[in-house]
């Protein structure tokens, strides 16, 4: 597979005169509510006149002939009302996405974006949200001929950060969206290796079967039926970013990269297997964050990530329920359902990361990212969920992540880990230490997206790092099953790169 990793979208700071034809832009896309536009009285007059003739302009994206403006094209992209108590900044992201789609349909190739500001604190990051929405619309998959586009943005202050984020989001969407062969584990790993070669992020790919079976036994169990098909065999990708000088913040990230999930011996039926090439959104998002860091090279942070890349195949070598596998942490895990494979992958990866914690410059925060459960979709629809361990909860980490996600149009719901979640995965016989899951689909299990974190804490050895321990470790589990693709459509929805923007803002203190 030919790898072409770049951002098809580059943002450029534009000046006021660009609205009136300077800079070579071929369309003006205005995102707003009332289109008051105090800095552009000529533009406001034109818009007011148009709305007076057609009130529908205030409700749907509209293209107006506008001689004297950029490219002679004016696209009005209304946010709709902003005063309802339950609205959020996604109004701007969605309007920008729709407005950019209209500009492209008109033939624009070099549009200019103007975002009307709001005094409401919910919309303080309206411009950032609009860039996320516009970038989502402008994204071109890697397996088509991509045409780079430079988009002018009025009022854009930190161009370098905006472009670094879009490069990271592009990589995340590429990795998540590739089909089961394009992004099988070796191809996914190669894509990362090529992207990060020579960058500020070091990359190591573990491919040796003996090493994976020895050091990642749960992950290897998931991949067992894929051995013998070279292009499907598992990989572990380790990415490291460490800035020079004093380190003030340390992160350890685990990404689930199931490149295709048949369900294994607990085979998915009734059409449920289609779309399961998108079960690698967690690993894709982690790689996307690292790509943004490679561009920005921020000071004072260190991030170590491991991506567990496997194909959960069906075959005579597949693991089966009732099998007991001893994980990297030494915990004996009884398999309850082979379609609950993502937590097995994450458990070994997290166990490796946990061992790195004592050598980190600061108390590190651990996170796992995964399209893990159908239950989170049943519970929260299109929203991601964050679940905290006791240490993270005591620090308010989940609440901080949630607050930032609300500002950046990637909203999370905050879930609570309870004692019942640990009971769900407790050993049932003396032969095991943990049960991976019961034998039902998570979507039909009470607390189906919370109890997997209880399993991860035990299976990764993080139960040794609670509040009263010598080395308490904050740990957040992010289940993005409902938000990794648009419209929750794993078959045809475009990958969203959620939550790369939120993680970058959280890491860099917003």
The CATH number assigned to the domain holding 24 equals: 3.40.220.10
Do 153 and 172 reside in the same domain of the chain? no
> Which residue's entry shows tokens 């061992």?
355
Residue 1: its pLDDT value, please?
42
Strands (E), 343-485: 365-370, 384-388, 412-415, 434-435, 475-479
For 129-187, the pLDDT digits (tens) are: 999 999 999 999 999 989 899 999 999 999 999 999 999 999 999 999 999 999 999 99
Do 51 and 107 reside in the same domain of the chain? yes
Question: Is 424 part of a structural domain of the chain?
Answer: no
Do 185 and 118 reside in the same domain of the chain? no
Residue 230 has pLDDT above 50, yes or no: yes
Question: Is 315 part of a structural domain of the chain?
Answer: yes
Residues contacting 311, CB < 8 A, separation 6+: 180, 184, 185, 223, 226, 232, 234, 258, 259, 260
Question: Is 464 part of a structural domain of the chain?
Answer: no
What domain range is 220 assigned to? 166-320+338-415+448-454+470-507
For 472-490, the pLDDT digits (tens) are: 999 999 999 999 999 888 8
**Number of domains comprising the chain:** 2
Which of 343, 354, 393, 447 is labelled catalytic? 343
Q: What pTM value is reported for the model?
A: 0.97
Q: Among 51-60, 121-130, 240-249, 318-327, where is mean pLDDT lowest?
A: 51-60
Q: Which of 157, 186, 218 is where one domain is finished?
A: 157
> Average pLDDT, stretch 48-70?
92
Do 198 and 266 reside in the same domain of the chain? yes
Q: Please indicate whether residue 332 is annotated as part of the active site.
A: no
CA neighbor of 311 nearest in space, from 179, 462, 407, 443 = 179
- The answer to whether 64 and 50 have CB atoms below 8 angstroms apart is yes
Q: Please indicate whether residue 268 is annotated as part of the active site.
A: yes
Do 180 and 151 reside in the same domain of the chain? no
Residue 3: its pLDDT value, please?
46
Q: Kindly state the tokens that stand for 369.
A: 């990212």
Average of per-residue pLDDT values in the chain: 95
Task: Look up the CATH number of the domain holding residue 310.
Answer: 3.40.630.10
Do 69 and 34 reside in the same domain of the chain? yes
Q: What pLDDT band is residue 2 in, cutting at 50, 70 and 90?
A: very low
| 13, 210, 329, 397, 408 from 504: Cα distances, Å | 21, 35, 30, 15, 11
For 175-218, the pLDDT digits (tens) are: 999 999 999 999 999 999 999 999 999 999 999 999 999 999 99
CA 63 to chain CA mean position, Å: 32
Do 371 and 486 reside in the same domain of the chain? yes
> Average pLDDT, stretch 108-124?
96
Which of 13, 122, 268, 378 is labelled catalytic? 268
């Amino acid at each position: 597979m030919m790898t072409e990793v770049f951002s098809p979208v580059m943002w450029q700071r534009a000046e006021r005169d660009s609205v009136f034809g300077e800079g070579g832009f071929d369309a003006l896309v205005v995102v707003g509510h009332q289109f008051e536009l105090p800095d552009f009285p000529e533009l406001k007059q034109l818009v007011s006149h148009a709305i007076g003739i057609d009130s529908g302009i205030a409700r749907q994206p509209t293209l107006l002939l506008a001689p004297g403006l950029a490219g002679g094209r004016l696209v009005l992209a209304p946010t709709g009302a902003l005063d309802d108590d339950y609205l959020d900044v996604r109004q701007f992201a969605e309007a920008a996405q729709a407005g950019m789609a209209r500009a492209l349909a008109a033939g624009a190739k070099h549009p200019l974006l103007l975002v009307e500001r709001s005094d409401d604190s919910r919309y303080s990051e309206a411009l950032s949200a609009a860039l996320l929405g516009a970038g989502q619309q402008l994204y071109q998959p890697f397996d088509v001929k991509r045409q780079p586009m430079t988009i002018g943005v009025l009022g854009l202050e930190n161009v370098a950060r905006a472009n670094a984020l879009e490069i990271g989001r592009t990589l995340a969407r590429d990795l998540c969206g590739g089909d089961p062969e394009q992004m099988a584990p070796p191809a996914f790993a190669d894509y990362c290796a090529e992207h990060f070669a020579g960058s500020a992020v070091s990359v190591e790919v573990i491919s040796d079967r003996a090493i994976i079976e020895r050091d990642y036994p749960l992950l290897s169990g998931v991949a067992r039926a894929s051995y013998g098909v070279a292009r499907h065999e598992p990989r572990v990708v380790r990415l490291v970013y460490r800035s020079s000088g004093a380190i003030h913040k340390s992160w350890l990230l685990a990404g689930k990269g199931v490149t295709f999930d048949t369900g294994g011996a607990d085979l998915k039926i009734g059409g449920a297997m289609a779309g399961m090439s998108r079960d690698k959104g967690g690993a894709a998002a982690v790689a996307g964050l690292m790509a943004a860091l490679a561009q920005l090279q921020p000071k004072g942070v260190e991030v170590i990530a491991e991506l567990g890349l496997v194909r959960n195949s069906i075959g005579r070598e597949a693991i089966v329920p009732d099998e007991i596998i001893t994980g990297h942490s030494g915990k004996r895990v009884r398999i309850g359902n082979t379609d609950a494979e993502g937590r097995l992958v994450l458990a070994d990866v997290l166990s490796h990361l946990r061992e790195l914690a004592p050598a980190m410059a600061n108390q590190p925060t651990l996170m796992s990212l995964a399209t893990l459960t159908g239950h989170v979709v049943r519970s929260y629809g299109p929203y991601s969920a964050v679940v905290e361990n006791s240490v993270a909860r005591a620090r308010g980490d989940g609440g901080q992540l949630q607050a930032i996600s609300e500002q950046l149009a990637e909203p999370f719901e905050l879930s609570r880990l309870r004692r019942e979640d640990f009971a769900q995965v407790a050993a049932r016989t003396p032969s095991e230490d943990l049960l991976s899951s019961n034998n039902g689909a998570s979507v039909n299990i009470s607390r189906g997206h919370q109890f997997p974190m209880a399993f991860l804490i035990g299976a990764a050895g993080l139960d040794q790092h609670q509040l009263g321990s010598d080395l308490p470790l904050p740990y957040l589990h992010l289940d993005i099953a409902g938000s990794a693709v648009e419209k929750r459509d794993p078959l045809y929805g475009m990958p969203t790169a959620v939550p790369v923007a939120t993680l970058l803002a959280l890491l860099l203190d917003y």
